[in-house]
Amino acid sequence: MKKIYLPPFLFCAITSIAQNDTINHFNYNQDAGLQYKKNDFQWTTWAFAERLFSSNQLPAWRRVRQGMEFQLPSYPLKISGNKYRSTLFYEVDFTDNNFFQDSKRFKIWENLFVTFQNANDPNKFRILFGENTSILSREDNLSSGNLPTINRSLILEQHGSTNSFGTQWGLQILSQITKKTFLQASMQDNRGSLNQDKPSFQFWNALAIKMTQSLIQPSDKSAEKLNIGIAIDHTRNINNKSFTLTSAINNENLGNALATGNRLTFENNADYTNKIGSHFYTLEYEVIYSNYSNQNLNVSGGYGQIQFQAFDNKKTGDLVPFIRYDLVSLNNQIESATEQAIKLGINYNLPFTNKLINFHIEYAHHKLNGSQSIITKSQNQFDEFRFGIRVNATRYLRF
């Protein structure tokens, strides 16, 4: 679930409500948001804000999001011994239309869907219809309010130039096949929907399937866990698009190549978490390959990342440095280009804030090589640096 911002004075009010026995149905959940419960009905609201700063750029809002989920009462009949319910869910991002300054005011929609799901655990079974994130990429489905970096991987963000992945209109199904195996399938447009200038709603336009295997699960005695996933997606009728290379932090345009027709994409990811003493760490990677049929354009790349928790306590805060390597390579049999980026950064949850206020520093070093017909930036190597503040109404957790 994506996360939230509320002014600090409201946290005191929410906490007071949660502790007031005369108001039985409101509570503040530090990992979900403000909630209202009555019998089998639950309403949750969340929001968060992210402000970026740098020496050579004006301050900018990266994300300002707010959303709600309505968990409707369970249906009276059981199916195979399980109870089911429907939920209504939305999330908006006010930066998508520059806080209503742009003419396309509807572009604020990031998510808007209805579900039929297992009443107690939607990860066991869920059918969803509406606007939601494409199932293909693991990183794409990490909470925007809980990302370790300002932007997601280069290969993922750059697919957005052809309106691929991200939030799309259509149908999704999730089912837990075994205790450790999860299967997802989707029919979504995959050419951009509600938050695009020209929305597209032909949800039968793309088919995708993904399997995730939990090879090691955490227990009371061990924090160790290991997950691996594979996915495939086929999207048709991509028109008037170019695959655009962009920089890792400032999203600077570095070059582009035509990318139209049908797109076939493969994805693989894995993440491993454990402890060294009392210090958590996570190793992860994701790789994506796509072919665009009209130009026979092949795009491949991915990232690898290490995060390590230096310390975590109330008085000194929570400090997690990271290092990350990104690669994107594209070619159409006539011309080619390669972009590499090394990112270094820290995430620091400030002391005495219960992980609700986070300070972020990020540096990226880029290398570019390839055909001048694709690459438009004159420098083959360049650097970017930015820092930011995240304010949530839910905890910013790295592990």
pLDDT, tens digit, 9 for 90 and up, residues 355-393: 999 999 999 999 999 999 999 999 999 999 999 999 999
The tokens for 104 are 């396309």
Q: Which residue has the tokens 């938050």?
A: 195
What's the CATH code of the domain at 76?
2.40.160.10
pLDDT, tens digit, 9 for 90 and up, residues 57-113: 999 999 999 999 999 999 998 988 999 999 999 999 999 999 999 878 889 999 999
pLDDT at 10: 42
- Name the residue among 333, 290, 286 with its Cα closest to residue 305: 286
pLDDT, tens digit, 9 for 90 and up, residues 118-151: 999 999 999 999 999 999 999 999 999 999 999 9
Work out the average pLDDT over 391-397: 96
In a domain, 78, yes or no: yes
- Name the residue among 170, 159, 214 with its Cα closest to residue 193: 170
The tokens for 207 are 């088919």
Q: Is the pLDDT of residue 12 over 80?
A: no
Q: Is the pLDDT of residue 20 over 60?
A: no
Q: Is the pLDDT of residue 17 over 50?
A: no
In a domain, 343, yes or no: yes
Asked if 327 and 348 touch (Cβ cutoff 8 Å), the reply is: no
* Averaged confidence pLDDT in the chain: 93
pLDDT at 4: 40
DSSP string, 203-254: GGGEEEEEEEEEEE---SS---EEEEEEEEEEEEEE-S-EEEEE-TTT--EE
Q: Which residue has the tokens 């090691």?
A: 216
Q: Which residue has the tokens 């003493």?
A: 277
Work out the average pLDDT over 281-289: 98
Most distant CA atoms of the chain, gap in Å: 72
Q: Taking the CA atoms of 226, 232, 235 and 238 in sequence, report the sign of the dihedral they define.
A: positive
Spatial distance between the Cα atoms of 43 and 27, rounded to a whole number of angstroms: 10
- For 208, counting Cβ atoms within 10 Å of its Cβ (0-12 exposed, 13-18 middle, 19+ buried), the class is buried
pLDDT at 331: 97
In a domain, 173, yes or no: yes
pLDDT, tens digit, 9 for 90 and up, residues 184-224: 999 999 999 998 888 999 999 999 999 999 999 999 889 99
Percent of the chain with pLDDT over 90: 89
pLDDT at 103: 78
In a domain, 71, yes or no: yes
Q: Rg of the Cα trace of the chain?
A: 21
Q: Please give the distance of CA 359 from its chain centroid, rounded to a whole number.
A: 19
Q: Is the pLDDT of residue 19 over 80?
A: no
Instruction: Indicate the pairing of strand 357-370 with strand 311-313.
Output: unpaired
Instruction: Give the phi and the psi of residue 378 in degrees, each rounded to 5.
Output: -75, -25
pLDDT at 13: 42
Q: Is the pLDDT of residue 8 over 70?
A: no
In a domain, 77, yes or no: yes
CB atoms within 10 A of CB 183: 14
Q: How many folded domains does the chain comprise?
A: 1
Task: List the domain range (segments joined by +) for residue 14.
Answer: 8-392
The number of residues making up the chain comes to: 399
pLDDT at 95: 95
In a domain, 1, yes or no: no
The tokens for 43 are 């309403």
In a domain, 44, yes or no: yes
In a domain, 355, yes or no: yes
pLDDT at 102: 86
pLDDT at 104: 83
Q: Which H helix or E strand runs over 158?
A: helix 154-159
pLDDT, tens digit, 9 for 90 and up, residues 335-349: 999 999 999 999 999
pLDDT at 24: 62
